[in-house]
Chains A and B, each alone.
Chain A
Amino acid sequence: MTEIQHSAVLLLSEQFGFDASAWSRNRDNVRVRVDSERVFEVLKCLKTLGGFDMLVDITGVDELEYPNATDRFRVVYCLLNTSTGERLIVLTYVNDPQPTLPSAYPLWKGADWMEREVFDMFGITFTGHPDLRRILMPEEFTEYPLRKDYPLRGRGERHNFPVITRAES
């Protein structure tokens, strides 16, 4: 495997001792895999020392049916350095029964709604988030729709929603 050229390689190896096994790349995407316990420190280091001042996206992937998967949920942080245009993808993995991650809200305010969406869709809780509520699904909804064990057509929620008739209203 060829050496990965990225400004964060040296930074993270100095600060956290990351070796080449943590890094991978696919075309122009450079990715680093981080333990879920250390993800906040790594993100903080990347923001303050690495210059990654924009959090482009946070998303999740449920790896329940993914080939050769070892963990349940992958959480993906896409970072961007707006002055150099360099991107970095930070991957971390969390598992059942209580998938939990520290919130990135203290670092980037943009994380607010992104984390709410990941919580809404995958049920991953972010500790330290100021307002972790469902955002797209209704408040009464109890399941996490983008998990792979949730069926495409739902579990009948659509037909069992409480209905207020004109007479009751």
Chain B
Amino acid sequence: MPFEVSDLSADVDAAAGEYADKEYLWTLNFGPQHPATHTTLRLILTLDGEKVVKAVPDIGYLHSGFEKLAEDLDYNQYVTIVDRMNYLSPLANEIAWHHAVEKLLGIEITPRCKYVRTIIAELMRLHDHLLNTGTSALDLGAFTAFLYFFQQRELIYDISECASGQRFHSSYTRVGGVLFDVTNEWVEKVRSFCRGFRAVHTEVDGLLTRNRIFIDRTKGVGVLSKEDAINFSCTGPVARASGVVRDLRKDEPYLAYPDLDFKVICTTGGDCYARYLVRMHEMLESIKLIEQAVENIPSGPINVDPEGKAVLPNKSNVYQSIEGLIHHFEVIMPNRGFATPTESIYAATESPNGELGFYITADSSSKPYRARCRPPSYIHFAVFPHIIPGHMLSDVVAVLGSLNIIAAELDR
């Protein structure tokens, strides 16, 4: 790829100005295939010895036109694509997408569905934070913590499989509800996961939180001040670690969050260690939320009454009655589908990574006219070239890990 190091942004250039005429600087291509990026992204680093003077991200390797695809798929079909954006917490994306679609259509989901989606959203938060803290420790040389946490992720995969039949990209939510109602077996699995989780969390907490080497590698590294976090549009754990007290679950309550008791975890350090601490504590809050929600799942239907013609009928009706089958076809066939208002809406949820918003423009057909995703990874990665200069090369992996950059969401 033709790329000139002179094509740098003015801001980053100014920071590197004092090095402009130094011939001993050398360039390192970090990625696109590098074990510490975990995904496919490239950094062009200018180094003074081991010190990073300038970093230029080059992204787009995984760009697959998800937003263009949205214009060709209907509101239910697109869920299979949003799944693949942030693949560390696929169901959180589905919930965000259908949250936006339901807001567009004015559908109020049933209380049971709210609770089920809340439990799933919190499981996905654990899913993401487990991998993120695990791998950022792994990048810094702490292998054991990663294994403990990955084993817990397996259990979440099992829960996901039990609900939807798919372990990973489950495409579980639908407009106005979910694919299948949850079973007692699922509830039991969630309970047993909650029982076992705290012990593992304590164990990893003991391995990392007061570990001299881990603290040396993360404390004071990649500091992001509160003003910068707001100015750079950071949200989620990255902003909360810098002291921005903002969590959409509290500030703009959705799903069952208003009924449940939890804390918003904030700290003021703004460095990699602070982000690690925020994520570790958020996991405990998530477990608390799941424990409350799973004992209080309301009875009643999981899907909105399909008479409104926007919601898919129950699968057993589809397979066993002609009316159900016709109804199903009416919803999914091209040129049928359901009517949408000629309107636009922005709706956001608190995904594990930050504010995951969708700006949907509908043109009264059954497909979105435009579906913009506000991807938190993309916005957080824009911060990276501003906070890395002056750090050592080995800190690059620590900062990358703590910002939780997921290239599929970054590039879409």
Contacts and interface: CB of A to CB of B under 8 A. Distances in A.
A160 B351 CA distance: 38
Contacts of B251: 85
Contacts of B246: 82, 85
A145 B68 contact: yes
Nearest to B245: A82
Interface stretch (B1-9, B32-40, B257-265): B1-9
Given A66-B363, A136-B59, A136-B411, A61 B370 contact: yes
A54 B230 contact: yes
Contact of B231 (A59, A89, A109): A109
A131 B370 contact: no
A87 B248 CA distance: 12
Contact of A133 (B7, B230, B234, B372): B7
Contact of A85 (B63, B252, B378, B412): B252
A113 B72 CA distance: 26
Given A56-B233, A62-B370, A85-B252, A135 B363 contact: no
Contact of A136 (B60, B346, B348, B374): B60
Interface string B361-384: 101100001101010001101100
Contacts of B355: 56
A85 B210 CA distance: 35
Contacts of B412: 136
Contacts of B63: 136-137
Nearest to A117: B378
B233 A110 contact: yes
Interface stretch (B155-163, B191-199, B337-345): B337-345
B106 interface: yes
A131 B346 contact: no
Contacts, number: 117
Contact of B345 (A26, A110, A112): A26
Contacts of B343: 26
A56 B374 contact: yes
Interface in B1-41: 1-3, 7-11
Contact of A135 (B1, B10, B11, B59): B59
Contacts of B71: 152
Interface string A71-83: 0000010100010
B346 A82 contact: no
B308 interface: no
A29 B345 CA distance: 7
A47 to B, nearest CB: 10
Contacts of A139: 1-3
A18 interface: no
Contacts of A137: 60, 63
Q: Give the size category of A's interface with B.
A: 35 or more
B244 interface: yes
Given A27-B106, A56-B357, A62-B370, A108 B233 contact: yes
B357 A113 contact: no
Nearest to A148: B71
Contacts of A146: 67-68, 370
B150 interface: no
B359 interface: yes
Nearest to A132: B9
A169 to B, nearest CB: 13
Interface string A104-130: 000011101110010001000000001
Contacts of A121: 67
A130 B230 CA distance: 20
B60 A112 contact: no
A57 interface: yes
B81 to A, nearest CB: 13
A43 interface: no
Given A137-B60, A152-B68, A29 B346 contact: yes
B319 interface: no
B65 interface: yes
A17 interface: no
A65 B365 CA distance: 12
B344 A61 contact: yes
B88 to A, nearest CB: 20
Contacts of B1: 138-139
B233 A131 contact: no
A78 B363 contact: no
Contacts of B68: 145-146, 152
Interface of B: 1-3, 7-11, 59-60, 63, 65, 67-69, 71-72, 103, 106, 228, 230-235, 244, 246, 251-252, 342-346, 348, 355, 357, 359, 361, 363-364, 369-370, 372, 374, 378-379, 381-382, 386, 411-412
9 contacts: A57-B346, A76-B346, A78-B374, A85-B246, A89-B346, A109-B386, A113-B379, A135-B60, A139-B3
Given A131-B10, A134-B60, 4 more contacts: A56-B235, A59-B374, A108-B232, A146-B68
Interface pairs A-B: 3 shortest CB-CB: A110-B233, A131-B9, A130-B10
